[in-house]
């Protein structure tokens, strides 16, 4: 089966989150909701959104024919006493997982975290949730 590089990147990120990040979360001294993908409802798991787009390449990347992508992983969490802790835990574990596996098991040449944005409710108990957006820059050689 022929897969596009974009599909491979998204699947590699999902695997990184559901395997490596969940392992790191399980090693913590306190319970953090695990990450899963699918049609789940309820508050026992977290399902982050993954958005992939191409981004501007450097001159070097154009010369050596390397594609550049921007990937954003967004966690939306309900407002609870632990939500802020969850944001920091997901941020830390995703960062460690990317640091330990910067090629996403050989799918990309390099993955680097370029930003983390923590989103907090403007007023306590107003119904707005917490959030975390992690932005990565990925480079991958041409597949043709």
pTM above 0.85, yes or no: yes
Least confident of 8-22, 24-38, 47-61: 47-61
pLDDT in tens, 38-83: 877 667 889 999 999 987 777 877 778 888 899 999 999 888 888 8
d(CA 68, CA 61): 8
Rg (CA), the chain: 16
Fold classification of 5-141 (topology level):
Alpha-Beta Plaits (3.30.70)
Domain range summary for the chain, segments of one domain joined by +: 5-141
Q: What count of Cα atoms within 13 Å lies in the side-chain half-sphere of residue 100?
A: 13
Cα dihedral sign, 91-94-98-99: positive
On whether the CB atoms of residues 60 and 128 are closer than 8 A, the answer is no
Question: What percentage of the chain carries pLDDT values higher than 90?
Answer: 58
Sign, CA torsion 101/102/103/108: positive
Q: Return the pLDDT at 1.
A: 41
pLDDT of the residue at 91: 96
């Amino acid at each position: 089966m022929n897969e596009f590089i974009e599909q491979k990147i998204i699947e590699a990120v999902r695997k990184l989150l559901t395997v490596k990040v969940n392992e790191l979360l399980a090693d913590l001294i306190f319970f953090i909701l695990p990450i899963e993908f699918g049609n789940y409802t309820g508050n026992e798991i977290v399902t982050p959104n993954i958005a992939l787009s191409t981004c501007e390449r450097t001159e070097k990347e154009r010369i050596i024919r390397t594609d550049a992508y921007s990937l954003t992983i967004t966690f939306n969490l309900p407002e609870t006493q632990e939500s802020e802790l969850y944001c920091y835990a997901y941020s830390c574990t995703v960062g460690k997982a990317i640091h330990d596996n910067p090629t996403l098991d050989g799918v990309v040449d390099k993955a680097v975290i370029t930003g983390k944005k923590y989103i907090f409710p403007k007023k306590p108990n107003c119904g707005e949730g917490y959030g975390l957006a992690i932005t990565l820059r990925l480079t991958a050689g041409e597949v043709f």
